[in-house]
Amino acid sequence: MKITVLGATGGTGQHVVRRALDAGHHVTAVVRDPARLPIAADPRLEVVTADAFDAESISAAVTGRDAVVDTLGPRAKAQATVCSRGAAAAVAALRADNPSARLLVVTGSGHVRDAGDGPLTRYVLKPLIGSTLLRQPFADFARTERIVFDSELRWTVLRPPQLTDGPRKPYRTALDRNVRGGLKLSRADLADAIMVALDDPHTVGRVIGLGY
């Protein structure tokens, strides 16, 4: 499979690139600064310097690929539109150049309150956090998902909870709802879930909740 990874130098993006290469896929890593991608040279890895927020800039990197994985995320509060801007560019590029490709986009579970949450999380913790500390990132997750849902592409959205740099271990998933009590997930396990979803056509047009 030919896979393009947006946000390839980020914590999750690096794991996705490594996992995809280990699985034998051909990977196009879209980066702003190649020096920030600490992954050994591989004949199946192509590193492309491009602006992930510009559909024209990433056009060549998504054309002819089987899937595009968008792992873009903010590193600071001032970057509160990173996810939606990246998703908008990916959607526009795929619509123009490769509409049959898979699109997998990472958002988060914090902005969604549904039956998968326990009562305390659903009615107390999420409303409190979503109206204060994480108001802007949560709003951007919602904007991102609307862009993806309306894209008419072969999309899958992955909603992890708080991400960590911990080791891989068993995790849980749920389709179209949150994972009850799933408050954390390692980036390594998020990358694993992305690769599993890529191989599963039943996840097209679905949201995957994640957590331990």
pLDDT at 38: 92
Q: Tell me if 121 is assigned to some domain.
A: no
How many domains is the chain partitioned into structurally? Answer: 1
What is the value of pTM for the model shown?
0.92
pLDDT band at 40 (very low <50, low <70, confident <90, very high): confident
Q: Tell me if 129 is assigned to some domain.
A: no
Q: Tell me if 126 is assigned to some domain.
A: no
Question: What is the bridge-based pairing of β-strands 102-106 and 67-70?
Answer: parallel
CA distance 124 to 140: 21
If you average pLDDT over residues 197-212, what whole number do you get? 97
Q: Tell me if 127 is assigned to some domain.
A: no
pLDDT at 78 over 60: no
Choice among 54-68, 76-90, 130-144 with the minimum mean pLDDT:
130-144
The residues, ordered by sequence, that sit 6+ positions from 23 with a Cβ below 8 Å of its Cβ are 195
Kindly report the CATH number assigned to the domain that includes residue 56.
Answer: 3.40.50.720
What residues make up the domain containing 7? 2-109+139-211
Reported as a single tens digit per residue, the pLDDT across 168-192 is 999 999 999 999 989 899 999 999 9
Q: Tell me if 43 is assigned to some domain.
A: yes
Sign of CA dihedral 114, 116, 156, 74: positive
Q: Report residue 111 as tokens.
A: 């902005």
CA distance 49 to 72: 15
